[in-house]
Structure 1
């Protein structure tokens, strides 16, 4: 079991790993050993996720989500399979924790009368300041 939050836990069977060849440094080893990890998690049909968390996760995932609703995370930061596997799991957990946080509802506020007056007074003062900078036109006699 992978603990995401006290209320959300994922079973290991829900995660599918595929090991692929990684690009980048590693010398000849990079051409021989599949160290990069692709983690697939079926977010759309996972029984471990509450519906509200699932909706927020789908929105957060963006282009990492496939048409079938699978979340795809590729980890190739490290040279070993195991470290990349752990990195992919850590990134999935971080994304799920972010999705588990309920957004604070926005409370609409009106500016107070005094705040409106201060704003208008400041606008008037700035206008006068700019007016004073203008060149004076001399009228012909």
Structure 2
């Protein structure tokens, strides 16, 4: 992939997220689905696309949601419902699709532009993981708000 196309994908995704990365390699890694032809970003070897960032992002998503629940003073039973609904793969896929992130996923060439639901969910999680590594938890909360991942 050309450097121009990479820059366009990163810039377009940053516009959707409402967040400007200090280290755009983190976002580029988050956009690499399993099977992507990109196997190295700098010195990092991507053994399975964005899966490592997705695991981090899943944890960060939960941390932000639990922190928001804690400060709200809401009943403890509410947090389990929030975590299961907001953090579900179905919801993450829907949020990614609704916000247009599927246009920026660099996937397996055999899938011809189709982003499967689990891949979209992992990409949303990986994006949150990338934001966390780039600048911390408050920025993740702001990106989650922008994407519509914060409960009412």
Shorter-chain TM-score range: under 0.3
Larger radius of gyration: 1
Q: TM-score, normalised by structure 1?
A: 0.24
Task: Identify the structure with the greater helix proportion.
Answer: 2
Q: TM-score, normalised by structure 2?
A: 0.23
Task: Identify the structure with the greater strand proportion.
Answer: 1
